[in-house]
Amino acid sequence: MPADELAAAVAGLKAQAPLWIRVNRTRATPAEVIAALTADGASAESSPLDDHALAVRGLGDPARAPSFRAGLWTVQDLAAQLVGRLVAPAPGERVLDACAGVGGKTTHLAELAPGLIIDAVDPIAAKLALAAAAATRLGLSGITAHVGPLASLPPERRYDRVLVDAPCTGAGVLRRHPEAASRLTRADVDALAATQAALLALAAARVRPGGVLVYAVCTVTAAEGPGQLAAFLAAHPAFVLEPPPLPAAVIDGGAVRTWPHRHDADGFFAARLRRAG
């Protein structure tokens, strides 16, 4: 990033975050959701980066909106939505969400391609229960929850696409959690970078020949982003960095970078890797 842009980047990380929602393309179009929200007294506008990502104003509690309860959309930041598009699943594929959490990206993948077989893995059962509830509300199927570490999956199982939305320092979402800024240390960055590297190594072994591995973190630190990617590629010569199928505005050095001050989105780093066939 140019030095003269740093002040704007810092200010963006401190600014109030907008409300982004994701249109459930299996149930509605962006125009239909915009109309429903307008009827509720809110306003909504599609992002130029993804027409199914809507910036919403004046809504109040999203969970009270009739269109939310009907499963027409869910709350998800624009940057997180771009990660699902980076995975770009095809109908009928087997997909692994290696760090599924509450299922935001898991459900997005299910919306993007019909007939997916998705294994959603997380060590915390309560998070996967929330993911299952979200899938039910959105009318999505094909998702199987696996409570436990990634290594607990059957060792022979391989996937067409694997997503590692890794634990990170969260330095890209400080505008949502400003209290975290005072607690973040270099030791935290180093420890999480080591965790990310271990998860990536485990996930890489699950990718079938010719398959895709996507790494994503909601942070802006070099060690967790470009540094992590460079270290992985050096240690795993079977994988190559693949051009992101996304608008040029979010592509930086062959990977995806989003910033609050540039894109009105959370600060994310993501990379798409292809395993040699």
Active-site residue set: 218
Q: Which helix (H) or strand (E) holds 257?
A: strand 255-258
**Distance (Å, rounded) from C-alpha 198 to C-alpha 60?**
40
Tell me if 249 sits within 8 A of 197, measured CB to CB: no
- Is beta strand 251-252 parallel, antiparallel or unpaired with respect to 255-258? antiparallel
**Most distant CA atoms of the chain, gap in Å:** 54
CA atoms within 13 A on the CB side of 16: 3
Which pair of structure tokens corresponds to residue 235?
A: 């240690």
DSSP alpha helix (H) spans, 41-162: 66-69, 78-87, 104-112, 125-138
Q: Give me the count of residues in the chain.
A: 277
Beta bridge partners of 93: none
**Distance (Å, rounded) from C-alpha 24 to C-alpha 20?**
13
Tell me if 173 sits within 8 A of 267, measured CB to CB: yes
Which pair of structure tokens corresponds to residue 128?
A: 């996967």
DSSP class of residue 23 equals E
| Rounded (5°) CA angle 133-205-167 | 50
Which pair of structure tokens corresponds to residue 196?
A: 């990310």
